[in-house]
Structure 1
Amino acid sequence: MHFNHTLTNSFIQKPMTFMHLLVYTFFVSSLLCFFALPSLSITDNHETICGSTIDPNYCKNVLANQNGSIFDYGRFSVQKSLTQSLKFLNLVNSYLQNSSVFSQYTINALEDCQLLAEQNNEYLSNTYNIINQASNVLPSTQAEDFQTILSAVLTNQETCFGGIQSTSADPRVKNDLSSSLSDDTKLHGVSLALFVKGWVPRKIITQSWQHNGGNLDFHNGHLLLKMSNRARAIYDSARNHGRKLLQTTNNNSVVVIDMVVVSQDGSGNFTTINDAIAAAPNNINSTSGYFVIFINAGVYQEYVSINKTKTYLMLIGEGINQTIITGNHNVGDGNFTTFNSATFAVVAQGFVAVNITFRNTAGPSKFQAVALRSGADMSSFYSCSFEGYQDTLYTHSMRQFYRECDIYGTVDYIFGNAAVVFQNCNIYSRLPLSGQFNTITAQGRTDPNQNTGTSIQNATVKAADDLAPNINTVQTYLGRPWKQYSRTVFMQSFMDRLINPAGWHEWSGDFALSTLYYAEYKNTGPGSNTTNRVTWSGYHIINATDAANFTVSNFLAGDNWLPQTGVPYLSGLV
């Protein structure tokens, strides 16, 4: 998403994708839905294999003179992707070594690319190590993990590209990196497609109904914790000081290896959130438990970035509008990319946040200004608030879950390319700049093989207080297609009358209208009437069988990882 001074939405645009078009058909049938590409014989040639990739001609060039099975082709492509990702990282590093000649914006954009390229190198290396040993389909959970990772590789490429394509970026950097990014992205798309063909088992989506995860109630009382003696002492000390702690609803527990308290008055272990995070152990595994950071009420003017080593952190505040993390970085001032404008950013696996407000106070005149960005796999947010205007909540990549959260914004204020489910959340559109319209979502899927999309279930969609008197003059839409294969579903949600009868808005002309997947299922309220909705071929009014694809259980494989977080959830449809 790049900065432009023009106020109308049509020119406040994210960079257009540079990938080629491919008609993508999302299909379901009867009670069971099968997502599988045609099976391949053990020695299919590369022309057959490339036939259904996003760019068959490019794929054929990559695999030219190669022979073998789908697994051989896949390993070759991923290995080539890994080699290219390392070359690109070295190119970015070479520019950063001479950064004194560049503007602050260009340096920030290069640092974004450096971080994202480092991630891609790790993701591709891990993928190659797995498939180099596997000559058959992977177990479904492992296949889901690596499809998620390879989907994120493409998202990282797009994010880097978007930053350096800004008018604020140095032309030398823009021209040099853009070519490499474009070629490498096509290569990574081939690797993802071949991985899906070779190693991902046919996925059976079952129709699922209400099933409560049966987890913890974080609002009052005490939490049953499995913890060390030191952690118990801290917990008891916090309780004795009158903190609102946690409560179990049916004898469940969250495993905690240690915990600390942040308090600005000096009564805790730390006075800043960043210091507490720095003290957390590195690379906790999923079975060890969480490092818990209790954050006392207060306004914390900090920019927090949780790197990949700080896994399985749980941050617990004292409540929405009680524990507030705030900043004002933005694109409008000319120094920051959308990616690094975030007040709070996290990429560490297994992150959990509870009872916290994340805020960006830049205001609508500063355009893109992110309150929270998550690229953390299996991250969850419970009873949190996200406050901003344009681009409030950046669900960047990987798998994410939001429960009973409040989200405030104007233009594209829930955006990104994660596989994400919002459940029982309140979505509040605010008053935008004069000449703008509101768009709730801008989903960024660029490839039909990515397992990404935005699912909004059992939400309440209303006007914020500043917009309420103006809903007859300010138009609000459910979303618009940021990228070619944008995928967003609203289901079982209440939509107030602020929603325009068309429901959805185009991005630019007919871009993506046939390749996107937008759907609605059993929504209620005056804004949910679908009689006058858009007639795009990519828009659908779906049934329960289709909707089941976008539930926590099926879309996120959430039953495998959400129970340990203690965050309540419904596996299926309400």
Structure 2
Amino acid sequence: MAFNNKTILLSILFFVSLCVANGVPPETICGSTVDPTYCKNVFANQNGNIYDYGRISIRKSLSQSRKFMTSIDSYLQGGSSLSQLTIRALEDCRFLADLSFEYLSNTYATTNQSNNVLPTSQAEDFETFLSAVLTNQQTCLDSLDTIASDQRVKNDLSSSLFDDIKLHSVTLALFKKGWVPENKIRTSWPQNGRHLNFKNGCLPLKMSNSVRAIYDSARQHGRKLLQTNGGEDSVLVSDIVVVSQDGSGNFTTINDAIAAAPNNTVANDGYFFIFITEGVYQEYISIPKNKKYLMMVGEGINQTIITGDHNVVDGNMRLFANL
């Protein structure tokens, strides 16, 4: 049988198209992940391009996140025999798992519609979400480590978490490879809802004269971290409240100040600034999902201290801002 150049060329193009359609094996994709061996097991008998693998991984992460919440709920529903320490650890993990499921759901909703890199700012947002999922998993593990009496609960959930952390790590790696621009360079923190720009070690704030007057009267120490020069790149502050245990501020507890923040604000509204004066605040801080764009600043290292028995293993959290 004779073949002319056109026939050969068409055959080559067909072969290339077939390869692109079929994608690549897991070995090719998993090289960019932290644990390639685990990654290849996740995608056994799969084939596709980076976006196919990424979406599969996100779906698996979503499924595992849902299963983990179900496991926690089953323990909490039958928790009459559990210690208070165990119940608190489970409640912490349930709250974090709910956040993680929301982050993964939002990520999947976007990536399921895209076979290309996302705009840089959007890619950074979802990369932050997926990183937060890993942080939430580790925080839950830390909380479970405090359990002494209910070892079965601890061992069961910890084992699940270790596996899930591996899976979520794969999800993050593939998201970065598929949807994050290669030339993306993170140069700053989120500003006005996106990135907070520290200049010369200071965070410039833009606020009205009335808000600035409250801020200046509340702080007692020289400002090193924050400045209120109101420049073009300054972070907009919409309102300010002061938390002070002696009753001289707007609130005596941090949670009351959080409750006073407006609901579901947007970036252009600016930040709701909560200034926390010197003291030891014995509170379990919980920020509802509808309280967006909050900025909490303490009075200085070892001056504003939040202490409680949830989430943090040693029961203490410090706000290190020197003002």
Please give the range of the TM-score, normalised by the shorter of the 2 chains. Answer: 0.7 to 0.9
Q: CA deviation at 1:163?
A: 3.4
More helix per residue: 1 or 2?
A: 2
Matched, 1:200 2:172: no
Compared CA separation, residues 259 and 205, structure 1 to 2 (3 A) = closer
Aligned residues: 289
Matched, 1:213 2:199: yes
Between Structure 1 and Structure 2, whose CA radius of gyration is higher? 2
Q: CA deviation at 1:262?
A: 3.7
Q: Can you give the 5+ residue segments of structure 1 that lack an aligned partner in the other structure?
A: 1-39, 330-335, 342-367, 374-380, 385-574
Q: What is the match of residue 125 of structure 1?
A: 105
Match of 2:255 among 242, 255, 274: 274
Q: CA deviation at 1:205?
A: 5.8
Compared CA separation, residues 147 and 65, structure 1 to 2 (3 A) = same
Match of 1:138 among 112, 118, 123: 118
The one-letter amino acid paired with 1:260 is V
TM-score by length of 2: 0.73
More strand per residue: 1 or 2?
A: 1
Matched, 1:371 2:317: yes
The one-letter amino acid paired with 1:213 is K
Pairwise CA RMSD: 3.8
Matched-pair identity in %: 52
Matched, 1:225 2:207: yes
Q: Can you give the 5+ residue segments of structure 2 that lack an aligned partner in the other structure?
A: 1-18, 188-196, 221-225
Q: Quote the Cα distance in structure 1 between the aligned partners of 2:305 and 2:292.
A: 20
Matched, 1:168 2:148: yes
Provide Cα deviations, 1:238-268, integer angstroms capped at 9, x if missing partner.
48x9555986447565533333344445454
Q: Quote the Cα distance in structure 1 between the aligned partners of 2:157 and 2:206.
A: 52
Provide Cα deviations, 1:115-152, integer angstroms capped at 9, x if missing partner.
22112111111110111111012223322332232222
Q: Quote the Cα distance in structure 1 between the aligned partners of 2:109 and 2:52.
A: 14
Q: What is the match of residue 255 of structure 1?
A: 236
Does structure 2 retain, via aligned residues, the 8 Å contact 1:261–1:293? yes
Q: CA deviation at 1:85?
A: 0.4
Q: Quote the Cα distance in structure 2 between the aligned partners of 1:196 and 1:212.
A: 25
For residues 376-387 of structure 1, the aligned pairs below 5 Å read 382-383=321-322
Q: CA deviation at 1:59?
A: 2.6
- Higher RCO (CA 8 Å, separation ≥ 6 residues): 2
SS in 2 for 1:305: coil
Q: Quote the Cα distance in structure 1 between the aligned partners of 2:296 and 2:172.
A: 34
For residues 129-528 of structure 1, the aligned pairs below 5 Å read 129-165=109-145, 168-203=148-183, 213=199, 225-226=207-208, 232=210, 238=214, 243=218, 248-249=228-229, 251=231, 254-295=235-276, 297=277, 299-307=279-287, 308-315=289-296, 319-320=299-300, 324-327=304-307, 329=308, 336=309, 339-341=311-313, 368-372=314-318, 382-383=321-322
Q: CA deviation at 1:212?
A: 7.2
Compared CA separation, residues 151 and 325, structure 1 to 2 (3 A) = closer
Q: CA deviation at 1:306?
A: 4.0
Q: What is the match of residue 84 of structure 1?
A: 64
TM-score by length of 1: 0.44
Provide Cα deviations, 1:147-173, integer angstroms capped at 9, x if missing partner.
232222223223323433456151221
Q: Quote the Cα distance in structure 1 between the aligned partners of 2:278 and 2:318.
A: 18
Provide Cα deviations, 1:360-396, integer angstroms capped at 9, x if missing partner.
xxxxxxxx343238xxxxxxx6416xxxxxxxxxxxx
Does structure 1 retain, via aligned residues, the 8 Å contact 2:143–2:312? no
